[in-house]
Amino acid sequence: MPEEIKISVIMPVYNVEKFVGKAIESIQNQTLKEIEFLIVDDGTPDRSGEICDAYAQNDSRIRVFHKENGGAPSARNLAIEAAKGKYMYFMDSDDWAEPTMLEDMYRLAEEHQAQLVVAGFFIETYYSDTEYVTTELSDRDRAFSTQREFRENAYRLFDKNLLYTPWNKLFLSQYLLENNLRFPQTWMDDFPFNLMVIRDVERVVVTSKKYYHFMRARAESETARYRDDLYPKREEEHTWMLDLYQHWDVSDGESLEMLYRRYIERVVGCIENVTNVNCTLNAGQRRAAIREIVRNPRVAEAFGYARPRSNYMKLMLLPIRWRNVTLCHLEGKIISYVKTRNVKTFAKLKAGR
| 25, amino acid identity | E
* Chain segment 246-278, per-residue pLDDT in tens: 999 999 999 999 999 999 999 999 999 999 888
Q: Work out the pLDDT band at 342, boundaries 50, 70, 90.
A: low
pLDDT value at 347 more than 70: no
**Residues 193, 88: contact at Cβ < 8 Å?**
no
pLDDT value at 219 more than 60: no
**Residues 275, 292: contact at Cβ < 8 Å?**
no
* Chain segment 55-77, per-residue pLDDT in tens: 999 999 999 999 999 999 999 99
The C-alpha atoms of residue 242 and residue 249 are separated, in whole angstroms, by 10
Percentage of the chain surpassing pLDDT 90? 82
DSSP 180: T
Q: Work out the pLDDT band at 130, boundaries 50, 70, 90.
A: confident
Mean pLDDT of 306-311: 91
| 96, amino acid identity | W
* Chain segment 273-299, per-residue pLDDT in tens: 999 888 999 999 999 999 999 999 999
DSSP string covering 248-295: HT---HHHHHHHHHHHHHHHHHHHHHHHSTT--S-HHHHHHHHHHHHT
pLDDT value at 161 more than 90: yes
Select from 76, 85, 143, 151 the least CA-distant residue to 116.
Answer: 143
Mean pLDDT of 194-211: 98
DSSP 68: -
Domain ranges of the chain: 7-217, 223-351
CA pseudo-torsion sign 146, 149, 151, 154: negative
Q: Work out the pLDDT band at 202, boundaries 50, 70, 90.
A: very high
Q: Work out the pLDDT band at 300, boundaries 50, 70, 90.
A: very high
Give the Cα-Cα-Cα angle 90, 73, 93 (nearest 5 degrees).
45
Residues 6 or more apart whose Cβ sits within 8 Å of residue 7: 32, 34, 35, 36, 85, 86, 87, 88, 89, 102, 106, 170
Q: Work out the pLDDT band at 224, boundaries 50, 70, 90.
A: low
pLDDT value at 341 more than 80: no
Q: Which CATH class is domain 7-217?
A: alpha beta
**Residues 202, 175: contact at Cβ < 8 Å?**
no
Predicted pLDDT at 220: 42
How many CA atoms within 13 Å lie on the side-chain side of 323? 12
- Phi, psi at residue 180, to the nearest 5°? 50, 45
Mean pLDDT of 137-161: 97
Predicted pLDDT at 140: 97
- Phi, psi at residue 39, to the nearest 5°? -110, 130
